């Protein structure tokens, strides 16, 4: 292998060594910083908004069947029943904690891909990097990092 390196032109050897050093620096330092910056600026707030929308959309709505069939007190009973099964709304801190946990889990295997992304001056964006936000939201909604309150099933999903 040393003969092979000696046969290469010096400019090519220098370029390869510089490229390897640049990629190594990106892998060791910049990739982790880019993942942390993505967590703080976009991933966690987006995930928290998804969790909030999920909990709001999972709340059952009154149908108004009592008025339709001519028994108005049934609507009051329906509202009371729906109020009793309404899931607990997650606080902002709980949503952010679940999303931070989900972002860590989703980002565990992204260091190499982020190194490629940052080493190419963000010209190359691997699919795993572009799907980071969606993967984080999916993990948070799966209940892996904590229970998501839903109606009719207690407090777990």
> What is the per-residue pLDDT across 103-144, written as a single tens digit (0 to 9) for each?
999 988 899 999 999 999 989 999 999 999 999 999 999 989
3-state DSSP percent of the chain in helix, strand and coil, to 5: 70, 0, 30
CB 16 within 8 A of CB 68: no
Using CA atoms, how far residue 152 sits from 40, 60, 90, 112, in Å, is 34, 10, 17, 43
In a domain, 100, yes or no: yes
CA atoms of 24 and 51, how far apart (whole Å): 37
Range of the domain at 131: 26-59+89-142
In a domain, 11, yes or no: no
Q: Which pLDDT band holds residue 156 (cuts at 50, 70, 90)?
A: very low
* Beta-carbon count within 10 A of 99 CB: 26
Please give the tally of structural domains in the chain.
Answer: 1
In a domain, 70, yes or no: no
- pLDDT tens-digit readout, 2-55: 788 788 888 998 999 999 999 999 999 999 998 988 888 889 999 999 998 887
In a domain, 49, yes or no: yes
In a domain, 3, yes or no: no
């Amino acid at each position: 292998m040393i003969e092979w390196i000696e046969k290469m032109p010096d400019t090519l050897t220098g370029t390869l060594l510089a490229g390897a050093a640049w990629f190594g620096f990106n892998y060791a330092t910049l990739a982790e910083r880019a993942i942390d910056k993505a967590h703080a600026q976009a991933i966690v707030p987006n995930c928290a908004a998804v969790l909030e929308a999920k909990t709001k959309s999972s709340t059952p709505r009154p149908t108004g069947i009592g008025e339709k069939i001519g028994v108005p007190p049934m609507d009051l009973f329906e509202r009371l029943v729906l109020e009793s099964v309404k899931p607990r709304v997650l606080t902002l801190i709980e949503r952010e904690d679940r999303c931070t946990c989900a972002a860590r889990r989703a980002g565990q295997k992204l260091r190499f891909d982020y190194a490629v992304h940052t080493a190419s001056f963000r010209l190359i964006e691997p699919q795993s990097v572009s799907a980071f936000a969606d993967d984080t939201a999916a993990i948070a909604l799966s209940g892996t990092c904590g229970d998501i309150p839903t109606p009719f099933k207690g407090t777990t999903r």
